[in-house]
Amino acid sequence: MCRLLGVVSTSAISVVDAVGSEVLADFLALTKVHGDGWGVATADRTSPGDTPIDPRVQVSADNALHDPDFAAATHDHRAEASVVHLRWATNGLAVEPRNSHPFLADGIAMAHNGSIKPIGPLGELLDDDVTASLRGTTDSERYFGLIRQHRRSAPTLAEAVRRAVSQLREVYPDASLNALLLGEDQLIVVHAHAHSRLLDEDVEEITAAELPAEHLEDYFALRVARPTPDTLVVGSTGFGSLAWEPLEPECVTAIALSDLSTTRHPLVAD
């Protein structure tokens, strides 16, 4: 399980300038529990008619709090869209760079917050060539593989994500499928955590670390804020003092890098 932070701006901006130093410090404080690696994906929009620029991804298995590379990625690099991920490794999964999010393939980057168990039925949904392309051992990368598989026939990236999430919801009715995807000049937000609940041992670890109460009350929720007219921020609960607003549940939202316009794709048709 993890914490997610996404930024979209009409001009290139660093993560810290988009959210503010205090909000980013609050986010980093979550490494008391979410310290099993980090990753940052960035992208810039293209001119109309041009081929979208592929996202760039940097990942590490180190704790972000003590990693100068994380500080550089969030303070020095400027982009029109960024996805930041703090990892809390699922029990039994290795803490190593190949398992750190965001994953990158086919011009798309993805970070996931949740646990899809058991992993066997998820793997069975993947075509052989998609399975062969996987680098790590996580359920999250297999979830990403299913999205990439649907992208072959879906008319848009958002529709590919919606199809994959809807398919997984049938097999895993209680799983958190929350995710941020960056690619094709969009930030895609999956807010789909259904009836997900923390395990007792997870609650004990969060309580011992004295993380904000939101981690216990609504750990899997995502929310959105607009700190300036030109910047939109999406984030997990439990950090930051931005003017957060709730995101529609069980829905895929596409945010255009060009003008921050949004389109909704409910998992169940309106």
Model confidence band, residue 270 (pLDDT cutoffs 50, 70, 90):
very low
Domains of the chain listed by start with CATH number: 2-266 (3.60.20.10)
Q: What is the mean pLDDT of residues 201-209?
A: 66
Query: Which of 76, 150, 67, 155 lies closest to 110, judged by CA?
Result: 150
Burial 17-35 (b: 16+ CB within 10 A, else e): bbbbeebbebbbbbbebbb
**Residue 215 in this model has a pLDDT that exceeds 70:** no
For residues 170 and 204, what is the distance between their CA atoms, to the nearest angstrom? 30
Number of C-beta neighbours around residue 117 at 10 A: 15
**Residue 134 in this model has a pLDDT that exceeds 80:** yes
* Residue 198 pLDDT: 63
Left, alpha or beta for 213 (phi > 0: left; psi -120 to 50: alpha)? alpha
Q: What is the mean pLDDT of residues 104-132?
A: 96
**What is the 8-class DSSP label of residue 127?**
-
Q: Is the pTM of this model over 0.75?
A: yes
pLDDT digits (tens, 9 = 90+) for 54-77: 999 999 999 999 899 999 999 999
**Residue 216 in this model has a pLDDT that exceeds 70:** no
